[in-house]
Amino acid sequence: MRGLKGQKLTNISTKFAIETRELTKKYGDLIAVDKLNLTIDYGEVFGLLGPNGAGKTTIISMLCTIINPSSGNATVNGFDISRQSSNVRHSIGIVFQDPSIDDRLTGRENLQLHACLYDIPAELARKRIAEVLNLVGLEDRADSAMKTYSGGMRRRLELGRGLLHHPKVLFLDEPTLGLDPQTREHLWAYIENLARTTEITIVITTHYMEEADQLCNRVAIIDYGKIKVVDTPDNLKAALKGDVITITTAQPEKLATRLAELKLPPHIDSSRHTIRLAVANAEKLIPKLIKVAAEIGVEVSSVSVHHPTLNDVFLHYTGREMRAEEAESPLKKFMMMGRQRR
Ligand SMILES: Nc1ncnc2c1ncn2[C@@H]1O[C@H](COP(=O)(O)OP(=O)(O)O)[C@@H](O)[C@H]1O
Ligand SMILES: [Mg+2]
């Protein structure tokens, strides 16, 4: 088998947990993933961020060998996703947004079933099940039927299940979508703990920017199947170089005119009661602005400063706000197909 440029694919580097080369998925005329080149190091928590339909699930589905690429290639844990799919599957764990847990079984039984599917010997399975139950904090409820579990507990059990066979790479597709904020933060804590205490590589897609900011050491912003930018959340925020100062006053126009005369930063917009300025260092400028306002008799009722967030970064690169409720999951379909194939 040969890659796009005709090179042999046997020598693909195993230096990276994940390496994609011109990875592409087309559905008819639609290019869901467009010549993706990406490397993810071992031990990274890597975030794929993008609006609904950007191609995140499709990327993960190809890397998990649930669907085949149209062209290009990738390795996961050094294994070729097309030619060594069975090795890939054994070295990964997957937690998808759709529940895929049998409600009639207990938590422990669900884990036993999974251990069976992965041919983990009984004695080892017992040990691993105890281990993951401890990790996700479900020891007390392990023998209760799944139907008595809350949404957050289910997700934790799924996370535990995804870890049972000690995967090198864990894929989490919107793992906290639809969970309430408190449960979401609980789950983050488990994921953070996992990243800190093991050498696992985690690839996560999320609609929650603060989640990506907190968990990921690097993120890729994806739009229309292409990578817009890859970097650490801190670098991405710093690159925007912009604090935004919002001044509330009854006379925004008068103040804006005076600021322009003084060649102070131009305001980016003003409404009936506010004026907003994009500046490099808000804290330094604020005393000056207040002084100018006082000099021309403009009363300022409030001043606030906004430092760039990952959401601003997202907006900058995609022109869109991230909205969690837009996320959907065509993956369920894929999962069902995958199960029928087994
Ligand atoms: N089985 C499929 N058939 C046709 N189009 C698909 C299929 N799966 C996904 N797509 C399309 O591919 C694009 C990327 O989808 P997806 O990877 O699910 O995006 P995301 O996970 O970022 O929301 C979307 O335009 C979606 O409609
Ligand atoms: Mg998706």
pLDDT in the model for residue 342: 33
Pick the closest to residue 288 from 274, 300, 270 (CA basis): 300
State which of 30, 36, 221 you would mutate to test the pocket of ligand 1, scoring each by most atoms of that ligand within 8 A of its C-beta: 30
How much is the average pLDDT of 308-330? 71
Q: In this structure, are 273 and 134 located in the same domain?
A: no
Q: In this structure, are 296 and 232 located in the same domain?
A: no
Q: In this structure, are 203 and 286 located in the same domain?
A: no
| 10 within domain boundaries | no
Pick the closest to residue 36 from 82, 72, 88, 12 (CA basis): 72
The token duo for 130 is 């105890």
The answer to whether residues 324 and 261 touch, using CB atoms and an 8 Å cutoff, is no
* One-letter identity of residue 143: D
Where does the pLDDT of residue 322 fall: very low under 50, low under 70, confident under 90, or very high at 90 and above?
A: low
Closest atom of ligand 1 to CA, residue 334:
1
Kindly report the CATH number assigned to the domain that includes residue 272.
3.30.70.1150
pLDDT digits (tens, 9 = 90+) for 229-238: 999 999 999 8
Q: In this structure, are 230 and 302 located in the same domain?
A: no
For residue 328, the CA-to-ligand 2 centroid distance in Å is 6
pLDDT digits (tens, 9 = 90+) for 113-167: 999 988 899 999 999 999 889 888 899 999 999 999 988 888 889 989 998 988 9
pTM: 0.79
pLDDT in the model for residue 312: 86
| 118 within domain boundaries | yes
Whether residue 318 has its Cβ less than 6 Å from ligand 1: no
Pick the closest to residue 342 from 188, 167, 113 (CA basis): 113
The answer to whether residues 301 and 293 touch, using CB atoms and an 8 Å cutoff, is no
pLDDT in the model for residue 333: 39
pLDDT of residue 268 exceeding 70, the answer is: no
The answer to whether residues 4 and 72 touch, using CB atoms and an 8 Å cutoff, is yes
pLDDT digits (tens, 9 = 90+) for 35-69: 999 999 999 999 999 988 999 999 999 999 999 99
For residue 302, the CA-to-ligand 1 centroid distance in Å is 45
Q: In this structure, are 203 and 287 located in the same domain?
A: no
Give the bridge partners for 173, in sequence order: 205
Q: In this structure, are 93 and 174 located in the same domain?
A: yes
For residue 80, the CA-to-ligand 2 centroid distance in Å is 23
Kindly report the CATH number assigned to the domain that includes residue 24.
3.40.50.300
User: Domain residues for 199?
Assistant: 18-237+320-341
Q: Which residue did the predictor score with more confidence, 172 or 339?
A: 172
CA 63, CA 341: separation in Å to the nearest integer? 17
Pick the closest to residue 12 from 20, 33, 68 (CA basis): 20
